[in-house]
Structure 1
Amino acid sequence: MSTTVLVVDDEAKLRDYLERDGYTVLEASDGRTALDVATSSRPDLVVLDLGLPGLPGEEVARLLRRNSDVPIVMLTAKASENDRVMGLKLGADDYVVKPFSPRELVARVEAVLRRSRGPRTETTASASYGAGRLRIDTERREVHTGDRPVDLTRSEFDLLAALASRPGRVWSRTELVGRVQGHTFDAYERTIDVHVKNLRHKLGDSPPSEVIVTVPGVGYKLGVERDPDRPA
């Protein structure tokens, strides 16, 4: 079955390159049309330009995230860290800064789709950590702190699952980019810090953090041990 990508942009080359790689491509030139097409056609991934006429791309992403877990690759000319932080908070799975090559975008799309089709983790299907304080179910992609469910984006879940695959093991930002983004393109290590900040907030892991621990000059580790005999 062909993979369908909705391109919300006016760049014809993007469609050509995606179709050349075997994707079925749907197009929308404005935000309202994009929401209608996404609702009716349920694409496998959305490539979303933030510089849209009418309804801003940021609002399109926000509305998509209300009812859908569809992967989103954002396109923008805004390269500041604050802009990337905002894109990730809106639920973007990747954030591509213009100018970029169409070949790079296709590689990003492939990487995001790989991640969306299965967790890149060695954890068992369900496991408990820190005397039951944290529970991760990789098959259902669910996380609980105590009895409270935690709503995570796909990238946040993949990051937590990577850390939990080997509790106590220190992961560099470069390694985590590969696990979360599916690639190691330059300038994306800072996105890991954004995901960690969001994760800590959602897990209630207030400073000094005990669940996701910063290792200065290196990266991060899961600071709670897995419970070997405790049912998840």
Structure 2
Amino acid sequence: MHQHVFIVEDDPNIRDIVKAYLIKEGYDVSVVGDAESAWAYAEKKQPDMWILDIMLPGMDGYELCKRIRQISEVPIIIISAKDEEVDKILGLELGSDDYLTKPFSPRELVARVKRLFKRTQPKETESVQTDAVTVGDLSINHKERRVFWQDEEIDVTSKEYDLLYHLVKNENRAFSREELLTLVWGDDYFGSDRAVDDLIKRLRKKMDGVPLETVWGYGYRLRQDEAE
């Protein structure tokens, strides 16, 4: 069964080109030109990935992203003609996993789709020993990409998961914001390191008391006391 990508874009030319490229790569693709139609679909069923334009008639892409994130953790890529840093940060704060600025190469978008799917679906050949990692009350099943805090499963986005997994694997090690940006977004990300702060804030909100410690002026670490 092919992975299903849903594109919400009001420009028919961009819509058709992106759709053609993704179909060529073997994906099932649905397209609509407005957020209201996309939301009607989302309330009934979720695709495997969303690609959302920001400037849409009626409800904008930010609001649609926010609504989708309230009911689903599937990957979301935002595309927009806006290139202001605040717009990128807003998209990430609302739960998107990546942000691409127009004009963009369809090949670049396809590459990001592939990379995001790869990150959210680990290879079956991963070592069994690395499937589960536990630090105190926090446990991660890496093969299934599931997070448990105090025996309760927590819904996290793919970026939240990637950041948390790197910190859990390296408990007590301090990572700089720049290191975490590269580990989670890749070395081709040139946005603000505020994106890291936002992920930490979201994780702390979802897991009250989780020992994600701020290393002032540097970055973050997952703190695990020796006595534990």
> When the two structures are superposed, what TM-score results if normalisation uses the length of structure 2?
0.79
- C-alpha change, 1:201 and 1:44, in structure 2 (3 Å) is closer
| Aligned 8 A contact 1:73 1:93 in 2 | yes
In structure 1, how many angstroms separate the alpha carbons of the residues matched to 2:40 and 2:206? 31
CA contact (8 A) 1:76 1:98 kept: yes
What is the root-mean-square deviation in Å for CA atoms of aligned residues? 3.1
Deviation at 1:41, TM superposition (A): 5.4
Give yes or no for contact 1:196–1:212 (8 Å, CA) kept in 2.
Answer: no
Output the CA distance in 2 between the equivalents of 1:161 and 1:25: 30
Q: Is 1:200–1:212's contact at 8 Å kept on the other side of the alignment? A: no
Alignment partner of 1:117 is 2:117 = no
Letter matched to residue 48 of structure 2: D
**CA deviation map 1:98-123 (0-9, x unaligned):** 22221111111111111222399985
The alignment status of 1:128 with 2:131, answered yes or no, reads no
Task: Give the corresponding residue for 1:222.
Answer: 222
Identity over aligned pairs, percent = 35
Q: 1:142 aligns with which of 129, 144, 147?
A: 147
Q: Kindly provide the amino acid, as one letter, of the partner of residue 5 in structure 1.
A: V
| Structure 2 residue aligned with 1:185 | 188
Post-superposition CA distance 1:177-214 (Å, at most 9, x none): 34323x321314622233234334544569xxx63333
Distance 1:39 1:78, change over 3 A: same
Q: Identify which of 93, 105, 111 aligns with 1:101.
A: 105
The equivalent of 1:164 in structure 2 is 168
SS in 1 for 2:87: helix
Q: Deviations over 1:102-153 (max 9, x none)?
A: 1111111111111222399985514133xxxx41232462242x57775533
Structure 1: distance between partners of 2:91 and 2:119: 18
- Is the 8 Å Cα contact of residues 76 and 97 (structure 1) preserved in structure 2? yes
Tell me which amino acid in the other structure corresponds to 1:135.
L
Match of 2:180 in 1: 176
Equivalenced residues, count: 218
Task: Check the 8 A contact 2:177/2:220 in 1, yes or no.
Answer: yes
TM norm structure 1: 0.78
1:215 and 1:221 in contact (8 A); partners too: no
Distance in 1 (alpha carbons) for counterparts of 2:54 and 2:75: 15
Change (3 A) 1:226 1:140: farther
- Cα distance in 1 between the residues matched to 2:226 and 2:122: 22
Given that 1:15 and 1:25 are in contact with CA atoms closer than 8 Å, whether structure 2 keeps it comes out as: yes
Please state whether the residue corresponding to 2:52 is helix, strand or coil.
Answer: strand
Structure 2, unaligned runs of 5 or more: none
CA distance in structure 1 between the aligned counterparts of 2:94 and 2:108, rounded to whole angstroms: 22
1:172, distance to aligned residue in structure 2 (A): 4.2
Distance in 1 (alpha carbons) for counterparts of 2:43 and 2:19: 20
